[in-house]
A and B are shown apart, each in its own frame.
Chain A
Amino acid sequence: MKSQLTWRILVGVLFVSLSVITACGGKEATVTPEPAPTPPASPIPPDQNTPSPPTVIADTVPSLPAPTPADSSLMGNDLNELNRSIPLAPIFFAYDSGEMTTEAQSRLANNAEVMRNNLTWIVTIEGHCDERGTTEYNLALSERRALAARDYLVALGIPVHRLRTVSYGEEFPFEPGNDEAAWAQNRRAHFVVTAQ
């Protein structure tokens, strides 16, 4: 029993030595110990008593121009007075529509007549919407209204270079209010004399 164990150990030792010899390519059979495994990289030390150099905090200050005084106007006073007498009648649109009504068509015919009598006028057509659509889409819808009015005037013989358009969406309601009476007033194209 005992000798059998010894025998097994001997065989084992022989086997190990053999493999070492093979590994060392026939050199002297010295068993070199495996290098100790390096410990895994330690996590960030939990208590950072000496933090890394401080992060510098500074609010970036915007460089903004000073406000202009509050008395300017878009145009000269003469033009404002002229426009406030509404020489060119506004036209109104159905909900979510850029289509011309018959009422609008007759007003445009009148406006064309006025423009023919004032040949130096340059007219800007403003497209407007009521507040029910979305703010962003209304910018395009009011554009469509202004363009429809322009095209109609051009068809009536007004040279296109005397007409400009601008779309204000729902930004400048004519009638403040949240009912159909107000909305109907706000779905419109205004005609503004921008040069005399």
Chain B
Amino acid sequence: MLNKTLLGWSFTFLIISFAFSGGRASQIPASQQPDQTQPAEVSLIIGDRIGTPPRFAVPDFLALSEDPETIAAARTMGEVLWNDLQFEREFYMIPRDTYASIPVANSITDVSFDLWRELGADGVVIGTVQRVGELVQVQVRLWNIRGQESVFGREYTGSANSTRLYAHTIADEIHQNQRALKGLAQTKLAFVSDRNGESIVGPVDDRILKEIYFSDYDGYNQQRVTVNRSLNITPAWSADRRAIAYTSYLRGYADILVSFIYEGRLATPAAGSPDNQNWLPSWSPDGSRLAFTSNRDGNPELYVMNADGTNVERLTDNPAIDTSPTWSPTGAQLAFTSDRSGRPQIYLVGVDGTGLRRVTFESYCDRPTWSPAPFNEIAYSSRTGPGHDIKIFELSTRDVRQITFGIGSNESPSYSPNGRHLAFTSNRSGKKQIYTIARDGRNLRRITRLGNNEMPSWSR
């Protein structure tokens, strides 16, 4: 009985697929092709792009070498790639345990199309991993199950230690290839952590140190950046991902440090002193300038300087607090926080100091973060009760939408480089931790677990 139903379904499915492929197969003479404006790649895109998202499966990669490292790497790559593709929600990712028993393929080109079709998969990613001396070779194909054709293929070679990076690279390439989407799988999150539990003998009390860390976008590979045994906060990635600017109290006062993490070099572009303290650095989108808060003229004002510290320009002049700068995607404007109305609110100002405009009219708003293009919105932290929640101000419509409704406080939003996600701090679990969330408020993920972690910055 069950068999019969199954047969019936597969038969229906076959007819449907036949109808589809038949429609595509009917050859139109080249001279009569109606629409030449369609990009050539369109035929290689799985799914109809109108209805439900195409269903993708990512089984374990095939280990072509027998050693345990390669076998483990093959499994990890499948898992990580599945997670990376799931993250953007462009495809319906079929849960991996439902096809754990399917013999995925005998080789990268010998795919069990019938079994995948029975599972309802539109696309299947088949990958292989092979040890070649000290290196590994990774091959990957994305198969269109109905058309029984490979629509995407890549080959990589490199270090055997970067297992997750192969999967992240493949995920970004598939998103680019199938959706023209800038993926995030190779991006990083910088944040502040007190996980080492190190304290310093303070003048009044012993004080917990905070250091800058960074990790992959999914929380893996967490690495410590600063080791100066001081208070280090508000990290900000440079545009080229090679440097992190942050506020450090290393010398007993607040100043901006820039760690060039691949060169082991440290810079102090704002050249602070006890009478010239600087904090909250924010890189311009092109990476050439830094906006920051400074008390050099007597109270917190906004300044902009070149990344090397030259050409400092004052942006605000008001007895109130002006702080928390963030750049517009073009670099022509900044949003910032000011309490000139009596309460902290978000304002906009041109990079030349003109065109001041108030944006929020709420009880307490701070830490604006301007989204990258194509979105034109500003995320910020807004008091919604005892704590704060993340809200988003849409600049064209002036609509405000709230995306967190957590217990506790949700603060310090930072946009992903494609604008589709945000990282933020929340103490909803008791301690402060980093979370990521999609800009529609869905897909909440916790990134950190050890100690308190806060103030995320999502790399470009």
Residues of A within 8 A of B (CB): 37, 39-44, 46-49, 51-52, 54-68, 70, 72-75, 79-80, 83-84, 86, 90, 124, 132-137, 139-141, 143-144, 147, 164-169, 171-172, 174, 190, 192-194
Contacts and interface: CB of A to CB of B under 8 A. Distances in A.
B30 A40 contact: yes
B300 interface: yes
Contacts of B157: 54-57
B225 A64 contact: yes
B357 to A, nearest CB: 19
Nearest to A122: B274
Interface in B39-84: 40-41, 43-44
Contacts of A144: 299-300, 321
B274 A86 contact: no
A165 B224 CA distance: 29
Nearest to A172: B207
A171 B157 CA distance: 45
12 contacts: A37-B31, A48-B141, A48-B152, A55-B155, A62-B262, A67-B229, A68-B227, A132-B386, A137-B337, A143-B300, A147-B295, A164-B253
Contacts of A59: 159, 161-162, 165
Given A44-B44, A171-B210, A135 B300 contact: no
Chain A interface, >50% SS class? loop
A190 B203 contact: yes
Contacts of A70: 198, 229
Interface residues of B, number: 84
Interface in B389-448: 411-412, 425
B41 A44 contact: yes
B293 A139 contact: yes
Interface of B: 30-31, 33, 36, 40-41, 43-44, 109, 137-139, 141, 149-159, 161-162, 165-166, 169, 198, 200-205, 207, 210, 223-225, 227-229, 231, 233-234, 247, 249, 252-254, 261-264, 274-275, 277, 279-280, 293, 295, 298-300, 321, 323-324, 337, 339, 344, 364, 366-367, 381, 386-388, 411-412, 425, 454-455
A168 B231 contact: yes
B166 A171 contact: no
B105 to A, nearest CB: 14
Contacts of A194: 203, 252
A141 B455 contact: no
Contacts of B295: 143, 147, 165, 167
Contact of B200 (A46, A74, A136, A190): A74
A143 B247 CA distance: 14
A190 B300 CA distance: 20
